[in-house]
Structure 1
Amino acid sequence: MSIGSSPEDDRPTTEDQRPSIGRTLQQARLAAALTVDEVSTATRVRVPIIHAIEQDDFERSGGDVYARGHVRMIARAVGIDPQPLVERYDADHGGRPAPTPAAPLFEAERIRPEPRRPNWTAAMVAAIVAVVGFVGFTLFSEDERSGRKGQVAEGPAASERAASGPAKKPGKPADPKPDPPEGAIAAVPKDKVTVKLAVLEDTSWISAKDHNGKRLFDGVLGKGDSKTFQDDERIDLVLGNAGAIELFVNGKKVEDEFETGQVERLSYTKGDPQAG
């Protein structure tokens, strides 16, 4: 009687029991209460590609370099660390891809320079400028000689002007007023709730609604972009990659420290700032 391996020997190891890359991204997206469309808007990765990656199908990404970038952006959008997933992808697909040298790709497309031809238009323009300059110099010389004769003839009048006192000097122009500090919200109305946000680094996906649920904005802001929203009662926000955002509510800066890659859901009223 032969002795075969027991069922326990075929059980997967702890490494194999970890959720796959696609499953991990899908679970994180559901935990963050985000739809595939919202992740696509935040990352600019097309919806079919996100669906394929969540099924561990990386063929639609167009290669290892693009697949690694998609995994990294989706992980940040759903609020998890992308580095372990990228390392697992490299381990499963033969290591990190080597960069492709750019020079040979364009070697065949170089265009031979054409022989330079005389630029007759430039020569004509230069000749016209020379003629106009000569005429202007001649007229200026004649005016200068005429002016000197006039000064000699008007000597007594000049003496009278000197006796009457020195001419008044023009007043010093007033210094320009300094610009208001950047980020301040001037004249915030007290009967409304005003929310201003600015992206300091990287990019962030923003969704803003009024107290009736009407969507005021839904899209991606890049570094240096800002938006201001107002409503009579309440502003509801969803911030993707909240750590990249500086937030002002009713003219006051919100001091909450949001983390990079974190998704935040906030509500503000007239009496805030305070996180909803």
Structure 2
Amino acid sequence: MSNGNSPEDERPIEDVSHDVSADVSEEARPSVGRALRQARIAAGSTVDDISAATRVRIAIVHAIEADDFTPCGGDVYARGHIRTLAKAVGLDPAELVAQFDAEHGGRPAPTPAAPLFEAERIRPERRGPNWTAAMVAAIVVVIGFVGFTFVKGGDDGGSEASVAEGSEPTAGGSVSSTAKPKDPADPKPDPTDSAIAAAPQDKVTVKVSASDGRSWISAKDHNGRLLFDGLLKQGDSKTFQDSEKVNLVLGDAGAVQLYVNGKKIEDDFRPGSVERLTYTKGDPQVG
């Protein structure tokens, strides 16, 4: 018979001091927000001081110190604010961010880079309009148009090389709206015998040459349609034709020389005089 303890009572007591101290340390460790608040107070700073130093809004500083990270707008922004505040109060930013990740489900897994690059590589390239080719084509068109206009203007230029022809008479007395250019003629020399013979017999041809000065001239056909109205410079000439008659107004009759149906008019007009004349298909006569 034994008066001592039973074998079960003599078993060694398990050493649980390590586990207890670990649990106590975990429970004693303050939260992220509380740790930031304690460090701020220990540093002698107010929330306003921390907000001014870190540019984190006062409301967000208060919320983080209360472990409310909703105003941060997401875990990414919350980690950034925690790092900033931790540096301002002298704590280790990495340790607090790791504690935050442990308390909020950890950092999200990174997206693999390979699928992103693969998707970017197979994405079809969008091509825009070829503006360079369009500009080159437009420039070529403009240059061609300018060259054509220049050549066309050179062919049609020269008032002395044109004949203003009146309208043909019709049964209804209608007036033709077109003027037919004739072969160019040199206005300076007097008409030769060949030029007189070439004057058409079925029309009246009147040539006005500003031989002694410049003069204002107006010419109309038998229907009253204006063939010319303007200043004739010295040395220039104009020729008018009509099927019936040509009406002239000379601003300075003494400065011009007239040729009607190939014949020179010998009228002695005074310099500066204004003359109103009419010539028909018959012999030259003043109307």
TM-score by length of 2: 0.33
Q: Which one scores higher on RCO, CA 8 angstroms, separation ≥ 6?
A: 1
TM-score by length of 1: 0.34
